Amino acid sequence: MSGFFESVEWQTLVELLPQMPFAVWETFYATALSTALALVIGLPLGVLLVVGEQGGVLPLPRWLMGLLNAIINLMRSVPFLILMIFVLPLSRALIGTSVGTPATIPPLVAAAFPFVARLVETSLREVDGGVVEAAQSMGATPFQIIAKVMLPESLPSLIANTTIALTTILGYSAMAGIIGGGGLGQIAINYGYYRYKYLTMVVATALLVVVVQLFQTVGTRLAAKCDKRLKR
């Protein structure tokens, strides 16, 4: 066993250990900030996808709905690595650099908001049509139906789906390590994969797993806690 502690694998890991807490933080904030911004864009889009269709609460022209769906599908079908390369000029324009953790945020948001829009759409479709009809029968405006019926009634589902978005975006942020993004992904790829230090790769990945577990646990608990449909 004594040989292990003298191995290059172990030495590299020990050398990199002080960087780990900061890498965890970088991954965490890149993910959280990107998800938040993706929600800012994706939530209204998701609402439009539901209320704007024919027979919806606020029907929009067919061509507009068709265009919206086409754009979302298009962005959803571009692989993240390719999308990231497309969006890097935008990062340079917005943030002044195309390397480092802040530079990964525009591509992460670009990749995440169409996904978030679809998740929001799914959540809102779970709202009972009868409840929406009841609100209409009471003289609610379309905006009141969105703000006071659809969003509050689907809140537990929205939280659960945001957790899914969060863990997916975490995966994307690790991938961003390949083209110069920071965080745990960068350590796993640059040190672990490119330099064959597999122990470092495994440890960085294990930390990613811990962050995912944390997000998922908090998300699941929060969704359950605010769901009044459960008898307690």
Partner 1 sequence: MIEIQHLTKRFAMAGGTVVALNDINLTIPQGDIFGIIGMSGAGKSTLVRCINMLERPDEGTVTVHGRAMQSLSAPELRAARRQITMIFQQFNLLMQRNCLKNVCFPMELAGIPRAKAEARAKELLELVGLPDKAGAYPAQLSGGQKQRVAIARALATNPEVLLCDEATSALDPNTTHAILQLVQKINAELGITVVVITHQMSVVEEICRHVAILDGGSVVEQGEVSDIFSNPQSDAARRLVFPAGVPTTELLPGRQLVRVAFGGGTTTDKPLVASLAIECGALVSIVAADTRLVNGQTLGSMVLALPQDPASAQKAVAYIQNYPGITMEEVENV
Residues making contact with partner 1 (CB under 8 A): 128, 130-131, 133-141, 144, 148-149, 152-153, 155-156, 226-231
- Shortest separation between residue 150's beta carbon and partner 1, angstroms: 11
Q: How far apart are CA 23 and CA 211, in angstroms?
A: 12
Count Cβ neighbours within 10 Å for each residue of 59-83 and write b for 16 or more, e otherwise.
Answer: eeeeeebeebbeebeebeeeebeeb
C-beta of residue 105 within 8 angstroms of C-beta of residue 40? no
Structure tokens at 57: 């609460």
When the beta carbons of 3 and 139 are compared against partner 1, the nearer one is 139
C-beta of residue 29 within 8 angstroms of C-beta of residue 219? no
Is the CA virtual torsion 89, 90, 93, 96 positive or negative? negative
When the beta carbons of 95 and 155 are compared against partner 1, the nearer one is 155
- Reduce the DSSP state of residue 152 to 3 states and report it: helix
- Shortest separation between residue 216's beta carbon and partner 1, angstroms: 23
Q: How far apart are CA 228 and CA 232, in angstroms?
A: 9
When the beta carbons of 119 and 150 are compared against partner 1, the nearer one is 150
- Shortest separation between residue 128's beta carbon and partner 1, angstroms: 7
- Shortest separation between residue 50's beta carbon and partner 1, angstroms: 17
- Shortest separation between residue 126's beta carbon and partner 1, angstroms: 11
Is the CA virtual torsion 45, 50, 53, 59 positive or negative? negative
| Beta-strand runs (E) in 125-195 | none
Per DSSP, 227 falls in state: -
When the beta carbons of 209 and 230 are compared against partner 1, the nearer one is 230
- Shortest separation between residue 41's beta carbon and partner 1, angstroms: 25
When the beta carbons of 15 and 133 are compared against partner 1, the nearer one is 133
